[in-house]
Amino acid sequence: MKFDDYRISAEIKRNLAELGFRRPTDIQYKAITPILKGDDVLAIAQTGTGKTAAFAIPVIDLINQQKSSSRSDFISCLVMVPTRELALQITEVFQSIGQHTLVKTACVFGGVDQDPQISKLKKGVDILIATPGRMFDLVHQDHIVLDKIQYLILDEADHMLALGFIKDIRQLIHRLPKYRQTLFFSATINPEIKELAYSLVTNPIRIEMSPKDPVAKNVTHAVAMIEMDDKRFFLERMIKENPESKILVFVRTKVRAERVFKAMCRAEIKSLTIHGDKEQKDRLDVLSQFRSGEAKVLIATDVSARGIDIPDVDYVINYDLPDVAENYVHRVGRTGRGIKKGLAISFCSPEEKPVLAEIEEFLDKKVSVLIIDKEEYTTTVDLAADNPNDWKALLRDEEQNAKPKKKRR
């Protein structure tokens, strides 16, 4: 089936063609028609499978049809997301798919001045993408009215619960019309998420994509056994052997992110970092450079693991294994998105083996191990530019120190 076969507006079809969308992904194929029919949807699908377009396409079309027959000056659709970066990314998708239609999309999120966001709201918005904190601030200030919402979308619902937004979501429900269409999208499901989902939806169409393998089929993932102190040498080698590739490196903490960044600087490798200590403007600038390819290496904490759709990431490197096994799926899902192939490699030190076991239990299968023989391992460490034990570098330093110093006159 092609997008041309759907009963959606010509403008949307043209936009999809310009974006390179020809055929729907599995989640899009299973979700678009029920949403167009007005059904509630509960979808469990891995990250990178095209979830955003799965709900954006039909909702934009439904609102566009309504506006074609009658004028509306209220927010028709609310999309709730857990992070600022995801809010911006989803807004970009909605605006791209909704070009040349009557549908207006905007987003609100914290960490920045609210006045520009309020100005956009005053001009009229049909679809609002929001993070919980800023949305409730603006609701309490009467800048956002929710009593005419027709479509409620919760995206990355599991992450919202993990961040403690469940009370906000339950509070939100009391402000919405009882009769609405609800779309609930999540990469994973557990009893708490299931309970929340079924409290929001009515007789939903349930869609579950590859539930036995939470890692998307386009991602080849493996683990390499590497000592903690040697990881930077193998990362350096990986980057230098793939100079044109876009590489996303995940570390456990913001302190680790900066340490790895400095190690790459010593190896004369240009990289960027993104983590919670960075200002919103800096984070957006970093993502823009990485997205455009201006920077090829991005070192990130898990703040960037969920929902950030950065095109053409060739490799994901789990420099540190994640503290939470579930986050492994979201990290490796940054590559192999849509119909593209991707490769994810995890560096596992001896002390991280219990974490690896938890990940394999979560995946319900073993992660393939990359065999590094002793000679290759030693060569990688010895030839690394950042190796302080590099004998050539030590000789150069010794020669430099041995040179007689000129006397000052």
pLDDT of the residue at 402:
57
Query: What local confidence, expressed as pLDDT, does residue 181 receive?
Result: 96
Is the pLDDT higher at 165 or at 266? 266
Are 35 and 205 contacting, i.e. CB atoms less than 8 angstroms apart?
no
What's the CA gap between 347 and 364, in Å, rounded?
A: 20
Identify the residue with better confidence: 255 or 71. 255
pLDDT of residue 273: 92
The reply to whether 3-208 and 219-387 are identical in fold is yes
pLDDT at 394: 45
Fold of 219-387: Rossmann fold (3.40.50)
CA gap 366, 359 in Å, rounded: 9
**Given this model, what pLDDT does residue 399 score?**
55
Query: What is the band of 382 on the pLDDT scale with cuts at 50, 70, 90?
Result: confident
State residue 161's pLDDT score: 80
Q: Specify the pLDDT at position 406.
A: 52
Residue 206 has pLDDT above 70, yes or no: yes
Domain ranges of the chain: 3-208, 219-387
Residue predicted with more confidence, 6 or 284: 6
Which of 248, 367, 224 is CA-nearest to residue 306? 248
Say if residue 361's pLDDT is above 70.
yes
pTM: predicted TM-score of the whole model, two decimal places: 0.71
Q: Does the pLDDT at position 400 exceed 60?
A: no
Architecture of domain 3-208 in this structure: 3-Layer(aba) Sandwich (3.40)
Q: Rounded distance, CA 249 to CA 314, Å? A: 11
Section 297-317 average pLDDT:
80
Q: How confident is the model over 320-351, as pLDDT tens digits?
A: 999 888 889 888 988 887 678 899 999 999 99
Instruction: Give the confidence band of 305 by pLDDT, cuts at 50, 70, 90.
Output: low
Bigger pLDDT: 55 vs 387: 55
Mind listing the pLDDT tens digit for each residue in 92-146?
999 999 999 999 999 999 888 999 999 999 999 999 999 988 999 999 999 999 9
For position 71, what pLDDT does the model report? 64
Say what the pLDDT of residue 354 is: 95
| Mean pLDDT computed over every residue of the chain | 87
